[in-house]
Amino acid sequence: MAASAASPVSATVSITPARAAFERLRVQAPVLRREDAAARIVRLRRLAAWLTANRVAIQTALYADFRKPAAETDLTEIWSTQAEIKHVIAHLKQWMAPKRVGTPLSLFGTRSWVQYEPKGVCLIIAPWNYPFYLAVGPLVSALAAGNCCVLKPSELTPHVATLLRRLAAEVFDPAEVVVVEGDKTVATELLSFPFDHIFFTGSPEVGKIVMRAAAEHLSGVTLELGGKSPAVVDATANLRDTAEKLVWGKFLNAGQTCVAPDYVLVQEPVQEALVREMEAVIRRSYNPAGAGVDASESFARIVNRQHFNRLAGLLEEAQTAGASVAIGGEIDSSHCFIAPTVLTQVPPESRLMQEEIFGPLLPLVPFHTLAEAADFINSRPKPLAQYIFTRNAENQRYLLQNVSAGGAAVNETIVHLGHSELPFGGVGNSGVGKAHGHYGFLAFSNEKAVLKQRVGRTSIKLLYPPYTPKVQKM
Ligand code: NAD
């Protein structure tokens, strides 16, 4: 029998775990927004203690996911997160305090301030390349700002994802922080909910999907994306020092770092010498006993077969197009191994020079003038980081002024992202918004502008209608 329009319709509404988590957090968010700095700090201290107690578990999960060396896990996953927590705890009270602002003459008699309120219920979507730090780091900022959070780790690092679920269960109230595991199907479902803020770290392609979904609810977004970050080495650079820093920044995490130097623009007369210096550093760092880099416990693997095939394809295609392998080039699909590889004579139109590499392949591109180097970079989407190796202050000034990038480091790679007083994030294709420290706190806060007027007569009332000729003359 067909139901008439007036008869009650019984329907089974299925509540998915993601939906249930979101609804639970929505109820709790008003409670968290009333908390003071001390209460938030208690939560952050619990998190810090868990990190200390679970150091080996974190190292083990990262090793299981892509053979990340324990020392790299300490530095880039655990200590980096601890440093973020410590910095937040030291400054939170001051960041949360309302900030008085001055009063313009036209508003004489009023008082104004900026008050920081949590956005509410936030979503963090994390990538696989630093799967612990890039999940928990934003969570620290979100909690510091007083939010409830759903955290979706990457499905490509399942051991870390499971560990994050355990972390949430052991450290937080399930009405405050929930880890929802899953792939893009789960992410898509989460993105259909009206979150107050979405903090996404991942590729520019998926960043656009996230931004489109956020537009549906006008959710705030922070998009930490990627791209091809260039290093420029001029003829005045100290080549030994440059080689050490480039090799470390590029081959850390097997090149799977958002701010890794993607390619090197090197002033033509010093290219050969730079290659020789890099070769020596690679040998010292990853093959000291001569047994091959694949025997080294200091070098990670490519995260999975799909990314391995992608990188092997980029390498093969570039070689077919005329690129030459100056260092490395060994690959072994049985354990997703690609040796630290430096290439020269790479055609600019090859995919290696068009796509973000995100692996241990480093093309060197010679240039003659700084203007040529700047044009090369500026003809591509804006990068997340820009590296400048020079001893010439004028060259440094020129490149900082003429190249747009999310951040920059001079005579260094990568470590600018570990500076707690600096904003971290991209520009254009490499991201929207900034993270870390105070900038992370602000990303998850609404800076509420408050003006307090005296009760009674004020100069503003002179402007009220009716608009007599006298008012119109003012
Ligand atoms: P990705 O964009 O493929 O995935 C990131 C997250 O998005 C994962 O949790 C994934 O499950 C989810 N996702 C994938 N497809 C989705 C879809 N269609 N809809 C919704 N969610 C989806 O990125 P990745 O491969 O994990 O990470 C590599 C990229 O991240 C690189 O481009 C790198 O430069 C960038 N990255 C940026 C930063 C930064 O801080 N700016 C840091 C690390 C990585």
Walk across the sheet containing 99-101 and list its strands: 99-101, 111-118, 445-452
pLDDT at 9 over 50: no
Torsion of CA 308, 314, 317, 319, to 10 degrees: -100
Nearest CA to ligand 1 atom 34: 226
Between strands 341-344 and 361-367, the pairing is parallel
* Ligand 1 atom closest to the CA of 259, numbered from 1: 34
Give the pLDDT band (50/70/90) at residue 14: confident
Ligand 1 pocket, residue 258 CB under 6 Å: yes
Least confident of 5-9, 43-47, 168-172, 189-193: 5-9
Distance CA 330, CA 319 (A): 13
pLDDT at 1 over 80: no
**Shortest CA distance to 153 belongs to which of 120, 172, 178, 171?**
178
- Neighbouring residues of 193: CB distance < 8 A, sequence distance ≥ 6: 18, 19, 22, 123, 217
Give the pLDDT band (50/70/90) at residue 441: very high
Sign of CA dihedral 126, 358, 417, 164: positive
Ligand 1 pocket, residue 180 CB under 6 Å: no
| Mean pLDDT of all residues in 190-194 | 98
The answer, yes or no, to whether ipTM is higher than 0.90 is yes
Residue 148: active-site member: no
Structure token pair of residue 83:
């440093």
- Contact call for residues 444 and 94 (beta carbons, < 8 A): no
291 CB neighbour count, 10 Å cutoff: 9
Q: Is 216 exposed, middle or buried (CB count within 10 Å of its CB: 0-12, 13-18, 19+)?
A: exposed
DSSP-derived letter for residue 385 is E
Least confident of 8-12, 91-95, 303-307, 331-335: 8-12
pLDDT at 125 over 90: yes
Ligand 1 center–CA 357 separation, angstroms? 14
| Mean pLDDT of all residues in 185-208 | 98
pLDDT digits (tens, 9 = 90+) for 269-288: 999 999 999 999 999 999 99
Could you give the percent of the chain with pLDDT greater than 70?
A: 96
- Neighbouring residues of 41: CB distance < 8 A, sequence distance ≥ 6: 89, 92
pLDDT digits (tens, 9 = 90+) for 45-66: 999 999 999 999 999 999 999 9
The CATH class given to the 230-429 domain equals alpha beta
Structure token pair of residue 392:
């010439």
pLDDT value at residue 389: 98
Radius of gyration of the chain (CA): 26
**b/e for 46-81, b at 16 or more Cβ within 10 A?**
ebbebbeebbeebbebbbebbbbbbebbbebbbbbb
Between strands 111-118 and 99-101, the pairing is antiparallel
Ligand 1 pocket, residue 154 CB under 6 Å: yes
pLDDT value at residue 3: 37
Give the pLDDT band (50/70/90) at residue 250: very high
pLDDT digits (tens, 9 = 90+) for 386-438: 999 999 999 999 999 999 999 999 999 999 999 999 999 999 999 999 999 99
Structure token pair of residue 429:
């294709």
Distances (CA, A) of 161 to 34, 81, 174, 305: 31, 16, 17, 19
Structure token pair of residue 31:
């409670």
pLDDT value at residue 473: 66
pLDDT at 457 over 50: yes
Structural domain spans, the chain: 17-226+435-446, 230-429
Distance CA 246, CA 270 (A): 15
This prediction has a pTM of: 0.95
pLDDT value at residue 13: 59
Ligand 1 pocket, residue 126 CB under 6 Å: yes
- Among residues 72, 176, 224, 244, the one annotated as catalytic is 224
pLDDT value at residue 43: 98
Nearest CA to ligand 1 atom 30: 202
pLDDT at 6 over 90: no
| Mean pLDDT of all residues in 375-396 | 98
pLDDT digits (tens, 9 = 90+) for 230-245: 999 999 999 999 999 9
Residue 122: active-site member: no
- Contact call for residues 409 and 416 (beta carbons, < 8 A): yes
* Ligand 1 atom closest to the CA of 206, numbered from 1: 2
pLDDT at 367 over 70: yes
| pLDDT, the chain, mean | 95
Architecture of domain 17-226+435-446: 3-Layer(aba) Sandwich (3.40)
DSSP-derived letter for residue 172 is S
Largest CA distance in the chain: 91
Ligand 1 center–CA 201 separation, angstroms? 6
